[in-house]
Structure 1
Amino acid sequence: MTRERQAVPLQSVDVQVDVKDHVATVVSTLLYKNKEEKPIEAVFVFPMPSEASVYHFSAKVGETLIVAEVKEKKQAREEYDDALSSGQQAFLLEESDQSPDIFSMSVGSLRPGESASIRLEYVTELDVQADEALRFNLPAVLNPRYQPAGTESSVDVASVPSSLVPYDLTFSARVESSRPVSKVESTCTLDPVQYLNQDQTKASVKLAAGHKFDRDVELLIYYKDSHQPSAVVEAGQASAKPGSLMGDTALMLSLYPEFPKHVMSSTSSSGEFVFLLDRSGSMESFMSDSAKSGSRIDSARDTLLLLVKSLPMGCYFNIYSFGSSFQQIFKESVEYNQKTMEEALEKVKMMDADLGGTEILAPLKHIYSQSCIPGHPRQLFVFTDGEVGNTKEVINLVKSNADSHRCFSFGIGEGASSALINGLAKEGRGHAHFITGSGRMQPKVIQSLRFAMQPAVGDISVKWDLPKGVSASVLSPPLTSIFQGQRSLLYAQLTGQSEEGAEGCVTVKYSLAGRPTENKLNFSLKPAEDTGLTMHRLAARSLVRSLEKKQEDEREQKDYDAVKKKIIDLSVQSGVSSSLTAFIAVNKTCEGAIQEPVLRRNVPVPGRIYKSATTRIEALRSYSLGSGLGFAMDEVVYGSAIEDYDEMMFDEDEVGDAGPDFLMDSHAKARWSKPQWDPLLELVSLQKASGCWELEPALAKALSTTSQDLENKQPSVAKKEVWATILALVWLHDQKADAQDEWELLAMKSVTWLRSQNAVGLTECVEAANALLGSSVNKDVLGLQPTCTEPMETGLRSNLAQILQN
């Protein structure tokens, strides 16, 4: 039921995913049924991965199958409206004008009692995660996008509490790779993984029965030794015109650049690190529907602590936060030391999701107006739940300042806009991460900090060495960022014929720390089997996106119309969606026109989970103000709004004993209390900016021992700070070895400090720490000693280089 107690025509969603190495093909089947006594039009606004390439849309009504065509969006809308007005059935699928990660599906003129099965197909690339997993995400949550005042209206989203989503989801995935599948994990409950062959290169998984489509479905797929450079060559479509994208051979390159060790070992730890934290009302939402997950703002605060503690001495930093307005801790970026670190973290502790809307443009403009610090490249880290309506404007601002910084973006919680998060990183020459469900934010953020500490790559070029008569046209946007060990994708169209067994070579050249560097990949030109047209569709989508950006850049230029025509022609020719086209299908075989008025029914999607009803109303208020409605809400209105919302959304009969999980009163908040602080963060919070720890009662508490034991077990030859630092390092290696990627940088800082002290008694300290903590950590594991053949400074740089490479 919707808020108005209307029946929801969407009955169920079935999703089948076919994963081959780094690419997923997704087939979604949506079953609609009109249970009302009058004809209806069902409109479903839903999220979609921003990089997805939608290539098929069809409807089956009874025994009649209607396959949609891709047409120019205005024409498609007119055909749809004309069909409905003449009493015909029609089906329309289109990408939002505001953001490529929102689609709208219109199912027009379903007669009373009539059903329609809608089939939607798309292909998408899988992102590489910090732990080398490949991430597939099926988005379900679509939150209202905050619309700044004075901007165009955003998409109208119909949302309900996740517990009241009225349709079910069945989900299965088949995974296939040339390398064994080691494991598959998910944020949702899965049935056990089924391996389909002996060498475990094929596997299948499915969601446990009874799953509601009330949250994003995230799969993390792990292959053994999978992240190696590779190439997939795909033959063209036989019916397509030779020389066209679909008629020629398509190529997808997965590149994993390896930086020379001598360059990495000389990496400087200098830099200006600017952190921009979203403190809008929506950040008060829970990370997931688990009571143990904590809120988005809680997770972001904890992550900022770890980030700030991991910064190198001598760098510069500043922390901004934003909502309807923005704040900054320092007037301008300051040098990182004990005083500035303590001042910053004290203010971070007080940060809450209390700044209203999501006005991200203003703080970004202010950051870019600040002069860069010579010798300290600017690295911008943006943390947001990504619910804004002016996505393109924000991305264009980052793009116009790309030469002065690198931007690393983090989408927090379900419903974060993939278009915004990916766009910030892509245009800012950085890297993007998404943190959903119960997943920890810290390892992903620390990976980006490692990337930020790598030298910036410049002057990137691609050189081809192909057989005579074969040429390559790159279809992807130019490479603007390369990171050690991180995948870069490149699509190309190969024209011409080659002999059997022929090979090609691509060389990526770039400047790294002022030194010319290159990486080569040799590949066979023999087309792969059983790929369908997957590579062609991904390549077409990549080229469409490039042309769309070019069109925006030339909005006032004479080439605007020519670029627009090229986008439409390419979209129609390849059958792949774009911002300027739509899928349209009209059922012309249906007997008898519908004479009576057609009722519109909006299909709801799951919305975010708030800690309290007050927070929900605050969010509604900020959205109304941002959208220009500007109505005032006093205490009486607040109270009635809460009651009205509860009355609209929840019946005791519907909710049952569990109670609503979307809005929560003070009693519910007590049940959903903040989880206990992670012992790792408790220990990290005590580290000094220099990297050392002090012998204090708080350290004893963090190590689950007593101050007296710490003092009694201290070796007489060691200083207190040295003893305390060794204790912390031993505890980290023993108790938190599985989270080493989170604390490795700050541990390296500790080793640097110990070496700077010319500390004595290190062996005794490690032995005493093991005895006290009941551990067995080897001194060599701590990285305290360089090898016997290298000076201490060289050994330290080698350790740092290894961390950055990992």
Structure 2
Amino acid sequence: MITEITTLRPEECEPVPDAGLGALVTERGNLPLESVDVTADLSGLVAGVKVVQIFRNPHDVALEATYVFPLPDRAAVTSFRMEADGRVIEGVLKERGQARADYDQAISEGRRAAIAEEDRPDVFTIRVGNIVPGERVTVRLVLNQPLPYEDGAATFRFPLVVAPRYIPGSPLDGEQAGDGWAPDTDAVPDASRITPPVLLPGFPNPVRLSLAASVDPAGLELREVRSSLHVVQEEGDTVRLRPGERLDRDFVLRLSFDASTSLALAPDLESGGESGEREGAEGTFTLTVVPDPAEATARAKDVVLVLDRSGSMTGWKMVAARRAAARIVDTLVGGDRFAVLSFDTVVEHPEGLGEGLSEASDRNRYRAVEHLARLEARGGTEMLDPLERAVTLLGTPAGDTAGDDGVRDRVLVLVTDGQVGNEDQILERLGARLAGVRVHTVGIDRAVNAGFLGRLAGLGAGRCELVESEDRLDEAMEHIHRRIGSPLVTDLSVKADGLDLVPGSVGRLGSIYPGVPLTVQGRYRGAPGGALTVHGVDPTGRPWERRVTGTRVDNPAVRAIWARARLRTLEDRYAAGDRSLEEEIVEVSLRYGVLCRFTAFVAVDSEVVAEGGPGHRVIQPVELPSGWETPVVTAAPMMLTGMAQAAPMSLPAPAPPMSAPGAAPKFAARAGGGVPESFAGGPAGGPVGGGAPGGGFAPRAAMPPRPAPAGAPGAQPQEALRTQLGEELRRLRAAESLPAADRLRYLEDLGSRLAALAVYLGGHAELTALAAALQTGGELDVLWRRAAEGLESLSRAGRRRPFWKR
């Protein structure tokens, strides 16, 4: 039977002793996370943030608590500390596998320990082990983040909840990477790490939240401060969240002021805490170029609009997405071509427009808008297929309909909430195919997956626009309208004058768009002085340049923010297939003290407090994001799944229905957590319910799995290259009986494929050498043997466990 969960009155939430499933509340019960406190100092276009999480153990045995939570996707986490029983233990940043080994050893020996890991650019996990009965443990994080700026306003966005994400692919056998409700799959091999159980609406406030942001305009004229989603109180220069708010949506603060063109030079701090100018010293620069208020020259363009209509878009998000998509279509003019792809588990096109690019005539635009107006949310978020189709469409030659200069702008616009778990698979499969395509993303949600949408837009040299409410939609669409048009300046490069730049340290330049400053970061050697000149080409093809003189600043956050951006670039290249970057990623992370996916902060106490380790383990449930539809879960039978199977809990076995008002099964069914029906695939897929520690049901399958194509790079990211080379080896052996001339041609073709694969991976020395040998030619038998041995060696090389399981 399917039962809708109704809102509870506080008097209905009284837990019974040892009730087990669902008996997790705050002042009346036993959720491990007691409070979250966020303090932000905003200075100009940089924010320094301190996050304090307090865990409490109400049980009579030692506890290990796990909390999956978000942080800003561009934030650099630089410090981690654990405090308990008057003891303060500073966290140490280590390679992820070593940090986990240190944590596990400490826990097994009965010592307190805590570990902080990054699972996505904006999703993190903290585990705190051996919290003794009645004890509180405080965990402190310090981070720095840049504030994006456009159209006269900077935005401070701090996410507060990890929304449920659609998990595609087929479940993997063997050890699971984490304790979440979703199994690991071939498309999302760490799905169980990013799917914490979800509290259902009406549950009493499980976590006390406080958030305060002090605003220093840093010499700029601050005109206005706006809070988008929360009610705030202003106390001087501090904006404070109203008490009683829940961790169910992003905190968004917009600061209106005029930025200016500048070059900030921040020398590295010496060990004594002072910036030095000794020989060989280095520093970090931040270049900001504010474009002139001019309009770009319009140019004919091909635009493919990809709209997410999956179940998680239910409610106001679908309304906003339809409006946004229709506004984009209406901005097209004669000479443009376009296509509209709407998707859930299938991809659809407007009736009468076909599957290719159509002229942006009044009739065709009307058909597209009419199609968009009929869309309703449904099904799962199979995002990879429509994006691949969109890129294929944009790769179609412009033909006779090109612009006056024979060149078209190629633009892909994705409108979605981004709630998918297979981000790495999508980036890997698109990879180099986005060359020459500008990708703009429109994220619609109050707990949007900003990390993924920002990475995708960055890969396509475009912009990411986030919409957290319908009130913000018109403003956001004005921005997108300008982005779809031609940029003001392209083909950017930077030349130093009196400043010694560190090779390879300068980030990607992209293009300059109206209203959006160009921000470039990098490293320099020597004294903080000199200038940088930015060169480019305007829409008419004429040279464009700006020279900016540097000014010294003493702000260590500049170094950390550059390091985080550098790490994200390397991690995206790793996700796109270049597995050789792992050592460089770890080296950059450890050198600059910034957390990444390959490292972890670990804090280990020397005192033994719990002989035998924790007797109870709980994964903290999270709020259902604000604006999501009320989920529907199965009320019975209550099956133990997910975390309940993964760790000993001393929980009672499922009991028969009880008539007593406070009976455990009844309370668990009402106060537990789950996944929204719309997210789980709706009636077709059917939610799979089960009791989960942490106050929630823990579904194990959100949608019927759809197998990935055999040998596809996204099938298993850590096996993609070896799978493809193994297939080439099989074909080579099957061709051994061909005539000599055909075998030589086969080897030459094989060499061309391997060379292309090496380029796609961003460089691969062994593949390149083998490809060159096969294309150069020589004795047939020698070349054939070398090809077979080379493919066999490469298909077996580097079989390491993925970093999230070490």
> Aligned pair 1:450/2:491, yes or no?
no
Q: Which residue of 2 aligns with 1:608?
A: 625
Distance 1:521 1:163, change over 3 A: farther
Distance 1:614 1:36, change over 3 A: closer
Q: Which residue of 1 aligns with 2:518?
A: 488
Q: 1:192-341 counterparts in 2 under 5 A?
A: 192-195=233-236, 203-223=237-257, 226-239=258-271, 248-258=282-292, 264=295, 267-284=297-314, 286=315, 295-329=316-350, 330=353, 331-341=355-365
Q: 1:536-615 counterparts in 2 under 5 A?
A: 536-552=559-575, 555=578, 560=580, 563-588=581-606, 590-595=607-612, 597-608=614-625
Q: Which residue of 2 aligns with 1:135?
A: 155
> Aligned pair 1:175/2:215, yes or no?
yes
**Which one-letter code corresponds to 1:523 in the other structure?**
T
Q: Which residue of 2 aligns with 1:17?
A: 40
**TM-score where L is the length of structure 2:** 0.69
In 2, Cα distance between the equivalents of 1:220 and 1:342? 35
The answer on whether the counterparts of 2:487 and 2:514 sit within 8 Å (CA) in structure 1 is no
> Aligned pair 1:60/2:60, yes or no?
no
2:223 partner SS: strand
Q: 1:65-214 counterparts in 2 under 5 A?
A: 65-96=88-119, 99-129=120-150, 131-150=151-170, 151=187, 152-154=189-191, 155-161=194-200, 163-164=202-203, 165-177=205-217, 178-195=219-236, 203-214=237-248
Distance 1:524 1:305, change over 3 A: closer
In 1, Cα distance between the equivalents of 2:61 and 2:164? 30
The answer on whether the counterparts of 1:162 and 1:215 sit within 8 Å (CA) in structure 2 is no
The answer on whether the counterparts of 1:140 and 1:606 sit within 8 Å (CA) in structure 2 is no
Distance 1:596 1:30, change over 3 A: closer
In 1, Cα distance between the equivalents of 2:487 and 2:251? 35
Q: CA RMSD in A?
A: 3.1
The answer on whether the counterparts of 2:67 and 2:127 sit within 8 Å (CA) in structure 1 is yes
In terms of fraction of residues, the more helix-rich structure is 1
In 1, Cα distance between the equivalents of 2:526 and 2:436? 41
Where in structure 1 are there 5+ consecutive unaligned residues? 196-202, 287-294, 618-623, 625-643, 665-806
Q: 1:746-765 counterparts in 2 under 5 A?
A: none
1:258 partner SS: coil
Q: CA deviation at 1:42?
A: 0.5
In 2, Cα distance between the equivalents of 1:453 and 1:645? 58
In 1, Cα distance between the equivalents of 2:115 and 2:242? 32
**Which one-letter code corresponds to 1:179 in the other structure?**
L
1:650 partner SS: helix
Q: Which residue of 1 aligns with 2:553?
A: 528
Q: CA deviation at 1:398?
A: 4.1
Q: Which residue of 2 aligns with 1:639?
A: none
Q: 1:638-653 counterparts in 2 under 5 A?
A: 648=668, 650=670
Greater shift, 185-194 or 8-17, is seen at 185-194
Q: 1:484-523 counterparts in 2 under 5 A?
A: 484-497=514-527, 503-513=529-539, 515-523=541-549
**Which one-letter code corresponds to 1:43 in the other structure?**
T
> Aligned pair 1:461/2:496, yes or no?
no
**TM-score where L is the length of structure 1:** 0.69
Q: 1:689-768 counterparts in 2 under 5 A?
A: none
Distance 1:231 1:204, change over 3 A: farther
Instruction: Output one character per residue of 1:251-277: Cα deviation in whole Å (capped at 9) or x when no partner.
Output: 112222338x5xx47x23521222110
Q: CA deviation at 1:136?
A: 1.1
Q: Which residue of 1 aligns with 2:22?
A: 4
The answer on whether the counterparts of 2:67 and 2:126 sit within 8 Å (CA) in structure 1 is yes
More RCO (CA 8 Å, sep 6+): 2
2:268 partner SS: coil
Distance 1:189 1:409, change over 3 A: closer
Q: CA deviation at 1:389?
A: 1.1
In 2, Cα distance between the equivalents of 1:420 and 1:239? 36
**Which one-letter code corresponds to 2:560 in the other structure?**
R
Q: CA deviation at 1:80?
A: 0.6
> Aligned pair 1:401/2:433, yes or no?
yes
**Which one-letter code corresponds to 1:184 in the other structure?**
V
1:449 partner SS: helix
**Which one-letter code corresponds to 1:389 in the other structure?**
G
Q: CA deviation at 1:587?
A: 0.6
The answer on whether the counterparts of 1:395 and 1:420 sit within 8 Å (CA) in structure 2 is no
Distance 1:420 1:324, change over 3 A: same
Distance 1:181 1:323, change over 3 A: same
Greater shift, 147-156 or 31-40, is seen at 147-156
Distance 1:457 1:360, change over 3 A: farther
Distance 1:58 1:613, change over 3 A: closer
Instruction: Output one character per residue of 1:371-411: Cα deviation in whole Å (capped at 9) or x when no partner.
Output: 14233322111011111111022234444222232111011
